[in-house]
A and B are shown apart, each in its own frame.
Chain A
Amino acid sequence: MNIPIFLAQFKHDLWNEKLKFLILFLLFTFQVLASIISIFYLEELLTLFSLDFINPTPPSGAAAFLDYFADQFFFGILIISLGTMNVFASEIENGSICFSLTRPISRSEYTISRLTARLIGLILPFLLATFVGWVYMGLFFELFPITTLLFAIIPLVLLFIYVGVVTSVLSSRTSSLTAGLATIAIIIVQFTISAFKPIELLSPFTLASFWSEILSSSVSFDLDHFLKLVCLIVWSTVPFILTINSMKTRDL
């Protein structure tokens, strides 16, 4: 790989993500703050609406983040899928990729640059918003250690990367819409698989419960979790390589 060429392209691609970045940062920040505030005032709200027969979980920072992460499991994955479904497809469809790939840059460099920039543009706002939420949490609850937050966030970020690269490999071969829909179909199948104990490792979604265990401090980082994390990394790497290979050989 020609590093200066790659970096020039990467800088350009990353800058193109700025608007998406800003919008997503605001959206994720709103979500995390809303989770903290709603958990803090939950008891009062339930009383206000005469729903005090519901026994809520005790308000805490961990409960707020559990709520926020659970939202991201659906909402975040949808955003990543929507955000990556046109990463290559729209450029291929309208032909503007011909301008990009007739500059002296290899297809692999171009593919890695675009995909990485897009994933950063989608995932970094989530990480920053989560950090803002963690700081803000101190106004309401006792802060749990930042390391706990980092451990809890790893599986979710890996899951985001996985969904992003799956969508991108489809985006390099089909239209944007087909790539988005096919990803959702794949997610549904894999999510279903994760419910079956004997074959759960075939699904990257087995880590869905991981952050709840970490946030409620009941987790010891055992071999099982380690294995699941490794599986998720493998699950993400395979479509990443497939994307590069697909872009390398396809007619444009």
Chain B
Amino acid sequence: MENIIKIRNLSKNYGTVKALDNVTLSVPKGSIFGYLGPNGAGKTTTLKILMGLLQYSNGSVEIFENEVKKNPVAVNRRIGFLPDAEMPRNDSIYRFLNLTGKLHKIKNKEERISEVLVQIGLKKLSNRKIGTLSKGQKQRVGIANALMVDPQLLILDEPNNGLDPIARVRVLTLLKDLVKNGKTVLLSSHIIGEVDKIATDIAIIHRGRIVEQGKRKNLVKRYLNHGKYVIAGKLDIDQVMRSLEYITSCQQDHLERYIISTTGNVTEEQLLIDLIQKANSKIQYFSSAEISLEDLFIETINGQLKEGDYA
């Protein structure tokens, strides 16, 4: 499949800090590409480099077969971008989108503004100053701005930040529709659940390095020999963890149920129940759970954590 973005051996340093370390990444045409990573992993840095906002020390970055460094303006012309940044406070929504329309030389500018504002549910507020809008409304203006160009490629940095559930669903549906129409979407997020709903391709970045990359279904398949179970009851967690070494993690959810992840082949659930009960525990409820992208993410990142992370 044709790749719309090709990043090869990309490195970026902030002083002595390595923000990106030899990143190689390809975004296939017509995909919804989820770019995941914990805070400070290098997601925004990568996206800013793609948009020509940051210089890079090594590597090459191509979008639509054009090297970004050589002609960022030509590349920007075909991309809709939503940065994870504050918006200009003094512009009205209309003026803000109007300038985007003018600079992109959009022919039916007025119609297009009206169209994107309807899509994003802000038509009635078009004359309001951006500074007076709520965080979620501002985010929607940002998305409307990215959509203005009817872009071949949409790059969104944390698009669901501040959005209410209705707006969130609306945006996700909108992105799915765009991809159906042949567009490509690259979205970065640390809210994995949202990405899980729509992404076709995934890359996980941690400490500036790509640690997983590929088709979502292939990546999750790789983890299918892992198990995930929901258990309610009285569990002696320390003993369970000590005695059953194939349990990789055990966490309690808000209903005080235990979510247990196992590695290797735990083919028989009854065997697991028996083993847990032997470890000084009493099970009242047991069921297996579907492995999500979030599990894959946590598993991947946990494997990479070093002492002092999240300290």
Contacts and interface: CB of A to CB of B under 8 A. Distances in A.
B311 interface: no
A96 B87 contact: yes
A104 interface: yes
A97 B88 CA distance: 8
A249 B83 CA distance: 19
Contacts of B103: 5, 8-9, 103-105
B76 A98 contact: no
Interface in B77-94: 77, 79, 81, 83-91
A27 interface: no
Nearest to A250: B55
Interface SS, A side: helix
Nearest to B76: A104
A8 to B, nearest CB: 4
Nearest to B75: A104
B100 interface: yes
A9 B101 CA distance: 11
A96 B86 CA distance: 5
- Most B CB contacts (10 A, CB to CB) among A100, A101, A106 go to A101
B142 interface: yes
B85 A94 contact: yes
- Most A CB contacts (10 A, CB to CB) among B53, B76, B84 go to B53
A183 B273 CA distance: 73
Interface in A60-83: none
A4 B102 CA distance: 9
A138 interface: no
Interface string B84-124: 11111111000110011011110000000000000000000
A99 interface: yes
B73 A104 contact: yes
B85 A98 contact: yes
Given A12-B99, A99-B83, A103-B104, A252 B54 contact: yes
Given A5-B103, A8-B103, A102 B81 contact: yes
B60 to A, nearest CB: 18
B97 to A, nearest CB: 11
10 contacts: A8-B99, A8-B103, A12-B102, A16-B91, A96-B89, A98-B81, A102-B52, A103-B104, A104-B73, A252-B48
Interface of B: 48, 51-55, 73-74, 76-77, 79, 81, 83-91, 95-96, 99-100, 102-105, 142, 145
Given A95-B83, A103-B99, 6 more contacts: A94-B85, A95-B86, A96-B88, A99-B88, A101-B51, A102-B53
